[in-house]
Structure 1
């Protein structure tokens, strides 16, 4: 368009002022001015292109910055989650605590209630029901031990919800005046899972002191 304007201007001036001295003296200045305008127009286009490139690079930089901020937020969330996991402590240790007597035998399977609470960090064990309820998902370690006399057998089973996971037992004998046994293992629990010990029918355990115990702890949170 600029070159067309220059051509048109030149033709017009040539037709109208071919014999006009004043017009002839002005024509070179007008052409130079148009050339300068053209050069300025090209510079403006170049600046506009460079500005667009700068805006594009700025948008890319902003996107990268946003991605970096997102990764930083994710990292902070992961660190906070790990810290929360480290703060979660679950440890309990209990004993039957029924005095100088045996518990059982009963005619039906019975949930043992360990009334003597030695340790209950996290308050996940309920001394009124004998049931441990997992406060968080994770891997837990449990132990059960018993002491009993010889007149009746002993059969203890550790349950996760309604499923037997660990067992320990001893048959009644005349020659062996006392019976002792135990078991231990790791259980993967979800939040709200319940763990407890049942004394099977026609069996018994000794209730005094810390002989018959039920303990557990959170090993790692999942």
Structure 2
């Protein structure tokens, strides 16, 4: 799990450096960082959508996924629960930053295929590349939202660690088509986080997270019916 450990450490170090920078900059510069992160998240989200939508073999699946996922997330009240939890540790808007960080760090091809490639072939290239990107992202996020962004490192470690441990079982199930659908939904989630940071529209991205489960359930049902 060396690749996942490096990725986790990259986020921790980036968060500590960014948290230190935050203490020394004024509100005007923090707002500039919010704008930068919001625009970057929107750009990354749009890029993921544009790349994956033409590859989707089930063009309406992401719409159904968001409809079902948003309803489930709202019933479970994920956003408010997460906000209350983060406010125990911070008086600012750490919840918004953490939710953005978790989506950016965990919902992506590198973060899913990386631990599988590491477990099955001993190839850590994907995770080292991901670690570099996450280091920069965590540094900027922490400079805007504070060192609390480091909590996302624990989420990433559990996420990638689980994939690493079950790589043998997941390799045959995580097909290119399924990864396309997950990446497409991930793109919309990242875009929605960017819109929230820019205060254009508060989409409550956390309430939409269950949308990621719908394509997985669909492909499982599809595989069962094909027997």
Task: Quickly name the TM-score band, shorter chain normalised.
Answer: under 0.3
Give 1 or 2: higher strand fraction: 1
Q: Higher relative contact order by CA 8 Å / sep ≥ 6: 1 or 2?
A: 2
Give 1 or 2: higher helix fraction: 2
Larger Rg, first or second structure (1 or 2): 1
Q: TM-score, normalised by structure 1?
A: 0.20
